[in-house]
Amino acid sequence: MGLLSDLKSKVSGKLSANDNGHHPDHDELRARLGSLPPFDPAKAQVFRYRKQYGVNLGSMFCLEPWMATDIYKEYHDQGPEAEGDLLECMGDCCGEKMKAHWDSWLVRADFERMSNIGINAVRLPLGYWVLGRGFAAGKYKRHAATYDEALHYVGRVVAWAAEFDIGVLVDIHALPGGQNFDSHSGATGPPQFFDSRKFQDLAIKCYEAFTHLFASVTNVVGLQIVNEPVDNPQLEGFYERALTQVRSQSLDLPVYVGDGWNLAKYAAVVKRLRERFGFIVVDTHQYWVFRPEEQQYRVDQLTRELWETTVPELSQASNELDGNLIVGEYSSVLANGSFDGEDPAKCM
């Protein structure tokens, strides 16, 4: 019986350390975020309403192997894709390694340089799991204690940005179960988020916490509730539910939503939702390399499509939304076939 009791004790201890044994309240989460300047409502209006010129601070709090190559390369033979896969590969040392990553990925001088070249906003992708124990599912639930210090580093990024008058869009880049087919959704394989009420409830719980954390932070320009969701039939209804939660806590925090790769549709959806929920911004992403037909187009064809199709679509959506539209991600990277033997340097 002594051996059995000892085993039960060890198992119980492991669950309380790594699982959801601890459920921090909002005040504890705020303390983890650290000290930020007192809220200045007038200055916050400037941050939120000015035209945003920015970049993404990718792969700091929502890892992607093509960016965070150093932390993945040790486990290359195991093929981790999503951050949760990486945690499983790291095992017991994941806390130490993730902390080292957060501590070194960005430094204060990066924000000074961004400010010097005219950047006035950054988009900060976060996995929902950065809230730690009490806010995790799946692989992240098993390693939830790893994230007990994550908010400290999130707060440091926000504070550094504030020093240089740079706004921060808090982007919930990954939702429980994954909202798309890509590993940056925090999951590997088909998205499960829209098939699970449990996952959706957890997301709402996370929005409650994130709103509490950031609604009164002067240089936070908004909360993006989802990145690149698939255009699921439930998406519009989920947006209503999420907006209801955020607006129950803050009437004026701007809320950003993804366009589900269907800008015209979600511009119309958001136009309707704005009548009930106020300041909402649509985030659209522009790439010219992923669709099979794009990989066959030459540079001149893609350029023509950009000016004849993409620019008018963006202009129409922006007008419909009274300017509440951002291109949150874009890239001029093209498939090799698009250059058709020409020198890429001469085509770009």
CA distances from 98 to 72, 102, 140 (A): 11, 6, 13
Asked if residue 21 lies in contact with residue 15, where contact means CB atoms within 8 angstroms, the answer is yes
Q: What is the pTM of this model?
A: 0.89
Residue 293's CB is within 10 A of a number of other CB atoms, namely: 8
Distance linking the first and last C-alpha atoms of the chain: 73
Distance CA 254, CA 283 (A): 12
Given this model, what pLDDT does residue 162 score? 97
Given this model, what pLDDT does residue 122 score? 98
- Rg over CA atoms, the chain: 21
Amino acid at residue number 43: K
Burial letters for 247-266: b for 16+ Cβ neighbours within 10 Å, e otherwise?
Answer: beebeebbbbbbbbeebeeb
Given this model, what pLDDT does residue 9 score? 36
DSSP secondary-structure letter at 121?
Answer: E
Distance CA 306, CA 111 (A): 31
Asked if residue 250 lies in contact with residue 211, where contact means CB atoms within 8 angstroms, the answer is yes
Please give the distance of CA 46 from its chain centroid, rounded to a whole number: 23
Distance CA 251, CA 11 (A): 44
Residue 310's CB is within 10 A of a number of other CB atoms, namely: 17
Asked if residue 224 lies in contact with residue 170, where contact means CB atoms within 8 angstroms, the answer is yes
Distance CA 48, CA 253 (A): 9
pLDDT per 10-residue tile (average), the chain, 348 residues: 40 41 82 94 97 94 88 87 89 92 96 97 96 92 92 98 98 90 84 93 96 98 95 95 98 96 96 96 89 79 89 95 93 79 66
Q: Is 222 left (phi over 0), alpha (psi -120 to 50) or beta?
A: left
Given this model, what pLDDT does residue 183 score? 80
Q: Which residues share a beta bridge with 220?
A: 168
Sign of the Cα torsion 214, 128, 207, 325 reads: positive
Place of tokens 């993404």: 56
**Residue 55: closest CA among 110, 119, 107:** 119
The tokens for 234 are 């439930």
Given this model, what pLDDT does residue 214 score? 98
Place of tokens 């809230």: 131
Distance CA 153, CA 33 (A): 8
Distance CA 167, CA 53 (A): 10
Residue 243's CB is within 10 A of a number of other CB atoms, namely: 21
Residues making up the chain, counted from first to last: 348
In a 13 Å sphere around the CA of 257, the CA atoms on its Cβ side amount to: 30
What are residue 67's phi and psi, to 5 degrees? -100, -50
Cα-based torsion angle of the residue sequence 143, 176, 317, 220 in order, rounded to the nearest 10 degrees: -40
